Chain A
Amino acid sequence: MSTIAGALLTIMVGLAAIMSTWTGTYANYVKVGLRWPLVIASLVLIAAGLASLAYAIRGRANVHSHGAQGVGALLLVFVVALVLAPPPLGAAAAADRTPNRAASAEAFAAVTTTAPPVAAEAEPPVEPSEPGNPTPATATEEPSVGAQSTSEQSVPSTAVQEGVLEGNARAISMYEFVGYALFAPELVVGQPFELVGFAAEEPDIGNSFRLTRYLMGCCAADAFPLQVTLVDPTFMPALDQWVVVQATFHGELTDIDEWGEGVPVLEVHEMAPIDPPAEPYES
């Protein structure tokens, strides 16, 4: 690859990446915390590419290499793919993955000990409700922490369009809701919650769909689907349609695995279609 072609390619990668942070499509692939590192990296690439171009045009291609640098041309595939902007992971990929596996009891406990949704009602439970739960200790510790940290803590809201629904159910992230439903169900059973996600297929129950959202560590390659099944919805959304919903969990699970974990089944009160959120993934 000539120095000029290499410099142009480097600039193109930088431009494509910085455009994705500008338009917001980068959030379809990586966690939003990576935005500024991406901007800085893109600027470095653009600057280095421009400088290299300037040296090459002045006939001073200083560094020249023997080797498979031509492989760099493959970066063009990345530029094209990034400009094509494929959609975030959706219903099709979710159908292929085990739901709610990210909600491990230990990780869930670490995230939620500071934000119990119903601290006022946090009575110490007599016994863990699920015999199959690998760490029943988690469920018993949960409420005592909640009781100490008193009532006014707010659960992070993931509702992207405030006031779409009329009811006053508490907005809660899918990760937290699924975590409570599986590992401390006594804290959420019987109360309405507001959840946001997109529609995916429910294979086992009629007239229902699975409200889905992915939980991401760094990028979409490590994302897991979080799912709850909504029965008798007020309307049946198309696959991948985003909805906000208010619904109540009565303790029933479907798609239960050998460890007693599964997909919570919820009764729908209200729901409405919404635009895809700027951050499609929870992280």
Chain B
Amino acid sequence: MTQTTLERVLDGEHIDVRRRRGWQIAVGILVAVLVGARLFGEPAAWETWLTLFVSVLLQSLPFLVLGVVVSGVIAGFVTPSLIQRFTPSSETGSVAAATCAGVLLPGCECGSVPISDRLMQGGVAPAAALSFMLAAPALNPVVIVSTAVAFPGQPEMVAARFCASFVVALGIGLLWTRRNRTAAIDRAQQSVDPHSSRTETLVGTIVHDFLHAGGFLVVGAAAAAAIQAFLPQQILESIGSVPVLAVLTMAFLAIVLSICSEADAFFAASFSQVSPTAQLAFMVTGPVVDLKLVSMQAGVFGARFASRFAPATVAAAIGASVLMGWIWL
């Protein structure tokens, strides 16, 4: 018992003060916006915010739990030597393998962040783990089917989405192999007691990763709900219908609306007045970068990492959409 208390004290002292202050400022701004909206805005808009906030989180919860359970299994039962045996020795090869693994696993963006973090701690090359994180939500079977349903009779849209998202996941992974890899990633380090049993590690990892990723998900969901509730929806919709630069504005909409990757195809299809390439940009950008994802990535990998990763991902998503739109649509 005394050891645990000591550890708790140490915990408090080891927290990266700089990173924590950044988060306190972000949360402070958000709270100020919400209190302001409560005091001066319409009560109805506040109620809408609360409904949307709960909706985004409740919708994410099963996927986040699936993610942290997989994360716990990796921490407790998959040893680094096992991971090394199944990953290609070259970093480029493992990026390609990780992208393909992301296609097969029905993940969600909220769940793939903690899994990716855990894979890195298990010895997977960071670039490969990042490719997995980008590929899993954008390329899984559920998303492909829902895209086909939302765009009936347009298999070229499904093909274009698949190709563009694949290119983004692969491209960002390859880009990160060329950069100074681990330097930019500033994770909350976790030490697992080597004497603890596998079940204890599993349980500890599930709880830890749930609280960690879930806390940042709350911040992201609050921000996404605030944009929908307090900005007139018709302004957002008219942003999406500007014909010039429609690709850029649709990508911007995808980032601020933070719609889950299973539903975003229906949302994109409803923008029937913009070009197919702009609809594609919405579907390719949303699963790899949006408010709740940036919030989680900044929390799990550090704000410095997120400030480089998010712009790179947005650029890759827009570039891949334009390219694949030109080829397919």
The answer to whether B234 touches A97 (Cβ under 8 A) is: yes
Which residue on chain B has the smallest CB distance to residue A97?
B233
The answer to whether A10 touches B58 (Cβ under 8 A) is: no
A236 at the interface (CB under 8 A from B): no
Q: What residues of chain B lie closer than 8 Å to A45, measured between beta carbons?
A: 65, 210
Once A59-B1, A61-B7 are accepted as A-B contacts, the answer to whether A6 and B207 lie under 8 Å apart by CB is yes
Which residue on chain A has the smallest CB distance to residue B210?
A10
A180 at the interface (CB under 8 A from B): no
The answer to whether A48 touches B203 (Cβ under 8 A) is: yes
B69 at the interface (CB under 8 A from A): yes
The answer to whether A62 touches B192 (Cβ under 8 A) is: yes
Q: What residues of chain A lie closer than 8 Å to B237, measured between beta carbons?
A: 97-98, 101
The answer to whether B233 touches A28 (Cβ under 8 A) is: no
Give the residue of A38, A68, A98 whose beta carbon is less than 8 angstroms from that of B19: A68
The answer to whether B200 touches A62 (Cβ under 8 A) is: yes
B25 at the interface (CB under 8 A from A): no
Q: What residues of chain A lie closer than 8 Å to B150, measured between beta carbons?
A: 107
Which residue on chain A has the smallest CB distance to residue B295?
A71
Which residue on chain A has the smallest CB distance to residue B190?
A65
Q: What residues of chain B lie closer than 8 Å to A49, measured between beta carbons?
A: 207
Count of A interface residues, CB-CB < 8 Å: 76
Q: What residues of chain B lie closer than 8 Å to A37, measured between beta carbons?
A: 62
CB within 8 Å: A-B pair count:
253
The answer to whether B53 touches A30 (Cβ under 8 A) is: no
- Cα A13 to Cα B68 in complex, Å, equals 15
The answer to whether A78 touches B57 (Cβ under 8 A) is: yes
Which residue on chain B has the smallest CB distance to residue A71?
B215
Count of B interface residues, CB-CB < 8 Å: 88
The answer to whether A104 touches B258 (Cβ under 8 A) is: no
- Cα A51 to Cα B208 in complex, Å, equals 13
The answer to whether A221 touches B55 (Cβ under 8 A) is: yes
- Cα A81 to Cα B14 in complex, Å, equals 32
Q: Which of B14, B54, B237 is packed against the most chain A CB atoms within 10 Å? A: B54
For B165-208 the 0/1 string (1 means CB < 8 A from A) is 00000000000000000000001111111001001110111111
- Cα A217 to Cα B211 in complex, Å, equals 27
For B44-78 the 0/1 string (1 means CB < 8 A from A) is 11011011111111110110111001000000000
> How far apart are B238's CB and chain A's nearest CB, in angstroms?
9
Once A59-B4, A67-B189, A68-B20 are accepted as A-B contacts, the answer to whether A82 and B54 lie under 8 Å apart by CB is yes
The answer to whether A48 touches B211 (Cβ under 8 A) is: no
> How far apart are A29's CB and chain B's nearest CB, in angstroms?
4
B307 at the interface (CB under 8 A from A): no
A77 at the interface (CB under 8 A from B): yes
The answer to whether B211 touches A55 (Cβ under 8 A) is: no
Once A62-B201, A67-B16, A74-B219 are accepted as A-B contacts, the answer to whether A221 and B58 lie under 8 Å apart by CB is no
Stretch at the interface among A88-96, A149-157, A187-195: A88-96
Give the residue of B200, B206, B212 whose beta carbon is less than 8 angstroms from that of A72: B212
Which residue on chain A has the smallest CB distance to residue B65?
A41
> How far apart are A113's CB and chain B's nearest CB, in angstroms?
9
Q: Which of B23, B48, B234, B259 is packed against the most chain A CB atoms within 10 Å? A: B48
> How far apart are B209's CB and chain A's nearest CB, in angstroms?
10
Once A74-B27, A82-B58, A106-B153 are accepted as A-B contacts, the answer to whether A218 and B190 lie under 8 Å apart by CB is no
Q: What residues of chain B lie closer than 8 Å to A30, measured between beta carbons?
A: 55, 58-59
A109 at the interface (CB under 8 A from B): yes
Q: What residues of chain A lie closer than 8 Å to B152, measured between beta carbons?
A: 106-107, 109-110
The answer to whether A110 touches B262 (Cβ under 8 A) is: no
The answer to whether B19 touches A41 (Cβ under 8 A) is: no
- Cα A81 to Cα B234 in complex, Å, equals 27
- Cα A65 to Cα B208 in complex, Å, equals 8
The answer to whether A221 touches B154 (Cβ under 8 A) is: no
A242 at the interface (CB under 8 A from B): no
> How far apart are B191's CB and chain A's nearest CB, in angstroms?
7
Q: Which of B96-110 contact A (CB under 8 A)?
A: none
Give the residue of B4, B14, B15, B199 whose beta carbon is less than 8 angstroms from that of A3: B4
Give the residue of B20, B151, B234, B259 whose beta carbon is less than 8 angstroms from that of A96: B234
The answer to whether B4 touches A102 (Cβ under 8 A) is: no
For B214-233 the 0/1 string (1 means CB < 8 A from A) is 11101100101100110011
Q: What residues of chain A lie closer than 8 Å to B216, measured between beta carbons?
A: 71
> How far apart are B198's CB and chain A's nearest CB, in angstroms?
11
The answer to whether A75 touches B233 (Cβ under 8 A) is: no
Q: What residues of chain A lie closer than 8 Å to B234, measured between beta carbons?
A: 96-98
Which residue on chain B has the smallest CB distance to residue A91?
B44
A-B contact pairs, 6 of them (CB 8 A): A48-B207, A66-B11, A66-B15, A67-B212, A82-B54, A219-B56
Apart from the given pairs A66-B188, A87-B51, A218-B263, 8 other A-B contacts in the complex at a CB distance below 8 Å: A10-B211, A56-B4, A63-B207, A75-B218, A92-B44, A97-B234, A97-B237, A102-B270
